[in-house]
Amino acid sequence: MPKEPQSTKPPKQRALLMLVHTDPAEDEYAEAELTSLAVAAGLEVLGALHQRVEKPSKHSYVGKGKLEELFTAVHDAQADLVVFDCELSGVQLRNLEETLKRRVIDRTQLILDIFAQRAHTKEGKVQVELAQLNYILPRITAAYTQFERQKGGIGLRGPGETKLEADRRHIKRRLLSLKQELDEIEQARQRQRAGRRRFPFPFACIVGYTSAGKSTLMNVLTGSEVFADPMLFATLDPT
């Protein structure tokens, strides 16, 4: 019998959601939105845990008891990663991953990953990479061990600098390059706008929150075939 063709798509990562809020009225809406974001990023959502706290822990954002509950839930569900519905510091990310033995990402990382998947134009890709590097830079120190975090002194820079310093310098150089590239793109866009203003046609734009129906409305009004989908951030680049 002929063999069935095997799928070349990598299996979806299995994620557990962790939501921390001060208002219990936010729970249902927050879980629905984070679930939609996770699905948009290509994750398989296994479930969600909630905790209401007034002051998040500087060490791990959630309290010790909830962290133990989260550890059990993650391993019972065989989740690949945990998604927090908040922004975590580098120290919190490192401590959570060391405790849970799983990769941990926060809401900002999740959204930036969606942007990276959806950006197709040169401008969109540059903007996403710029945002990702700005997110990574203040958190990079926490990703290294105590030895790797030692600062290089006299004679330790250049070829002899630590990996932390080398990575930080590389990110800063890349940030500068991306900003210059974005400035050039903006100048080209301004020239295009100036050229369009020579024609006596009115200008209009459609703006709104993600998944509000902007692309669908544009298709109806203009007969275009812009990609439209109820998934969050389905269309990232201007159309």
Beta-carbon-side half-sphere exposure of residue 191 (alpha carbons within 13 Å) = 6
Whole-number pLDDT of residue 161: 53
* pLDDT confidence band for 213 (50 / 70 / 90): confident
CATH of domain 14-114: 3.40.50.11060
Show Cβ contacts of residue 127 under 8 Å, excluding neighbours closer than 6 positions: 119, 182
pLDDT average, residue stretch 13-20: 95
Do the Cβ atoms of 83 and 73 come closer than 8 Å? no
> Which pTM value belongs to this model?
0.77
CA dist., res. 142 & res. 145, Å (int): 8
- For residue 157, pLDDT over 50 is answered with no
- For residue 132, pLDDT over 60 is answered with yes
Share of the chain above pLDDT 90, in %: 48
Residue 235 token pair = 């269309």
| Plot region of 6 (φ>0 → left; ψ -120 to 50 → alpha; else → beta) | beta
Share of the chain above pLDDT 70, in %: 85
Residue located via tokens 């945002």:
131
Whole-number pLDDT of residue 190: 86
Whole-number pLDDT of residue 147: 41
Mean of per-residue pLDDT scores for the chain: 83
Whole-number pLDDT of residue 27: 76
Whole-number pLDDT of residue 195: 81
Whole-number pLDDT of residue 33: 92
Highest mean pLDDT among 14-28, 44-58, 160-174 belongs to: 44-58
Residue 47 φ/ψ, nearest 5 degrees = 160, -175
| Plot region of 202 (φ>0 → left; ψ -120 to 50 → alpha; else → beta) | beta
Question: Other C-beta atoms within 10 Å of 38: how many?
Answer: 25
- 133-156 per-position pLDDT tens digit: 999 998 887 766 434 444 444 444
- 84-100 per-position pLDDT tens digit: 999 999 999 999 999 99
Whole-number pLDDT of residue 8: 61
Nearest alpha-carbon partner for 116 in 132, 136, 100, 105: 132
Which long-range contacts does 39-44 make (Cβ < 8 Å, 24+ apart)?
A: 39/231, 40/114, 40/231, 40/232, 40/233, 40/234, 41/110, 41/113, 41/114, 41/117, 42/12, 42/13, 42/117, 43/12, 43/13, 43/14, 43/15, 43/81, 43/83, 44/12, 44/13, 44/14, 44/15
Whole-number pLDDT of residue 9: 67
Whole-number pLDDT of residue 155: 42
